[in-house]
Amino acid sequence: MNEIVIKSPTTLKELVQILAVADNNTYMLSGGTDFIIKMRREKINNGTIINLKDLKELNYITNTEDYVKIGGITTLTEISCSSIVDKYATALKEATGKVGSTQIRNAATLAGNIANSAPCADTVTALMALSAKVKIINGSGEIYEKKVDDIVLGSEKNSLKRDEVIIEVNIPIDLEARSSFGKIGSRTAVTISKLNMAVTFKYNHEMVINEAMVVIGAIGPKAFNSSTVANSLLNKKINTQFIYLFEETLQKQVDEAILGRASHPYKREAIRGLADDIMKRMFPQIMTGGELS
């Protein structure tokens, strides 16, 4: 007989006990916005659902001197409204504020987004650009960290084992860095990204780039860090010429990634506009002459 059993732990100790007997028919429910679709598509009508929503101790946003820490069941709405995230992880604030509808943001979580591993996931792109890591607990009660990039395999696949759950997201704090996120979809609201990108820049007092991270999403199985684009920006001064270089190198990256696909002509042009939007939001003081005031 087909049967769905729902277990709702209220403490990490209870969660570990449940994870200890997890099998291939065990599913984690965090926000549920993606899982409900998965249940219908894959006709899941048997197994165990571990409902994480009652783990109130995993609902928080805080920071230490070195990290922003976000609990596993914290919603995207809470993250997008957080002054801590706004101050130390701007790209994530911008990404969470653009995911789906208000109703989806009120339920969805970062942990759920990471585990679902959709190629167009906005928050994953932002987290990768911020060098985020996740804290995981398993059925033996062990707690350890992994990079977001190592968890997300793409095309709704992740590297988590059946007895592993993401309980926290950690974002390094770098007061010398600035970040931003942008996306393009078919609508201005409630849209799934056709293309998204997040960047993190570090630069000196002369506005010359010392370090760069450029992560592009929705042009492959998973978002990826484009070292080609990032390296092209090193030791360059941020001005209008810099934007042109950024756009041209991004186009070359799109050519390399999806040449021959039906979406290629659109995305190689769209990424220029996306880059321009991100740069002007990060550096609104860019003037027609190409210098920064």
- Please state the domain extents for the chain: 4-51, 60-172, 177-282
CA pair distance 115, 153, nearest whole angstrom: 9
CB atoms within 10 A of CB 178: 15
What tokens appear for 101 in the block?
A: 């509808």
CATH of 177-282, one of 3.40.630.30, 3.40.50.300, 3.30.390.50, 3.40.50.2300: 3.30.390.50
Strands (E), the chain: 4-7, 26-29, 47-51, 61-63, 67-71, 133-138, 143-147, 152-154, 157-158, 164-172, 177-184, 195-203, 209-217, 224-225
Taking the alpha carbons of 268, 270, 273, 277 in that order, is the dihedral positive or negative?
A: negative
Q: Cα 226 from chain centroid? A: 15
* pLDDT per residue as tens, the chain (293 positions): 478 999 999 999 999 999 999 999 999 988 877 777 778 888 888 899 999 999 999 999 999 999 999 999 999 999 999 999 999 999 999 999 988 888 889 999 999 999 988 888 899 999 999 999 999 999 999 999 999 999 999 888 999 999 999 999 999 999 999 999 999 976 555 567 889 999 999 999 999 999 999 999 999 899 999 999 999 999 999 998 999 999 999 999 999 999 999 999 999 999 999 999 999 899 988 744 555 44
Ramachandran bin of 289, using left for φ above 0, alpha for ψ from -120 to 50, beta for the remaining angles: alpha
DSSP state of 106: H
Tokens standing for residue 38: 């998965």
Q: Which CATH number fits domain 60-172: 3.30.465.10, 3.10.20.30, 3.40.50.720, 3.40.30.10?
A: 3.30.465.10
- Classified as helix, coil or strand, 231 is helix
